[in-house]
Amino acid sequence: MFSRMPEPLNNPIDDTSDELRASGSAASRSLALLALLASEGRALSLAELALRLSLPKATTHRLCMQLIDGGYITRGLSEREFAVGPALRQLAFDTLNHGTVRGLRHDVLAELVREVGETCNFTTLDGASVLYLDRVEAPWPWRLTLDVGAHVPLHCTASGKLFLAFMPARQRRSLIAGSSLTRMTERTVVTVAALEAECKAIAKRGYSLDEEEFITGLIALAVPVRDAEGDVRATLAVHAPKARMSIAAARERLPAMLAAAERMRGLL
């Protein structure tokens, strides 16, 4: 008499392998979509996203809906456009400001302030504005205070104009076209042609100036902080009242600024 052979047990790894592959594929596609929006610096339509990612529109739309639910992307000016959302911006901020590396960057910034004698800032591009990641104040009674996490405009600040100057032309045109170019002072650049000309000059000389364009009486100079691939990821900027730092005096601080930016390069 033969006994019945037991049913083979299902292998849990085999049962879930298709699910894991699908999950991994979805995660990879979501990350690729986020990376594309972050690098482009402007809202992209569903059709553009699908084309650039080589995905069906239905798949791209499903990914967008999931990312909107998490706050990682948001709608653009129309229902069919998508842009970077607040959750992704916060993730980028936390990544650049995490633990040990943030402390090392702060040390570079503090040493720079001791060398140039004025307040210095470490900033990055956040959508259509400049985000302050860190700052060290100089020990002067009169100074401009902008807290870490604060945003300032692109078109009238040294860091903002520098970001515009070194980004791809298409991205720059899109950001400028979407900006109101608000006049902050009598010296603010408020026309597209003038701002494009200024960006061209900045790209050629390698640094940017704010000659009382953001706040009357305030002078600033910014230099790029590049990553390992040479892309501008952040800026170092020094600012001071005109009575204490002229444009000529700001330029005298350029060698120290560039040296500090090079040290920052390995801390991104």
How confident is the model at residue 128, as a pLDDT?
86
Fold matches, 12-84 and 97-265: no
Q: What is the pLDDT of residue 259?
A: 97
Return the domain boundaries, the chain: 12-84, 97-265
Q: Is the pTM of this model over 0.75?
A: no
pLDDT at 4: 46
Is residue 217 within 8 A of residue 203, CB to CB? The reply is no
The CA angle 198-89-99, to the nearest 5 degrees, is: 105
pLDDT at 152: 92
207 contacts 160 by C-beta, under 8 angstroms: no
The pLDDT of residue 267: 87
> Per CATH, is 97-265 categorized as 3.30.450.40?
yes
Torsion of CA 151, 155, 157, 159, to 10 degrees: 80
CATH 1.10.287.110 describes domain 12-84: no
- Dihedrals phi, psi of 253, to nearest 5 degrees: -85, 0
Let me know: does 82 contact 73? Beta carbons within 8 Å.
yes
Across the chain, which has 268 residues, the per-10-residue mean pLDDT values are 44 45 73 87 87 92 92 80 82 67 89 96 90 88 68 95 95 89 96 97 97 96 94 95 95 97 90
Give me the DSSP letters along 144-186. Answer: ----TT-EE-STTSHHHHHHHHHS-HHHHHHHHHT------ST
Number of H helices, E strands in the chain: 10, 9
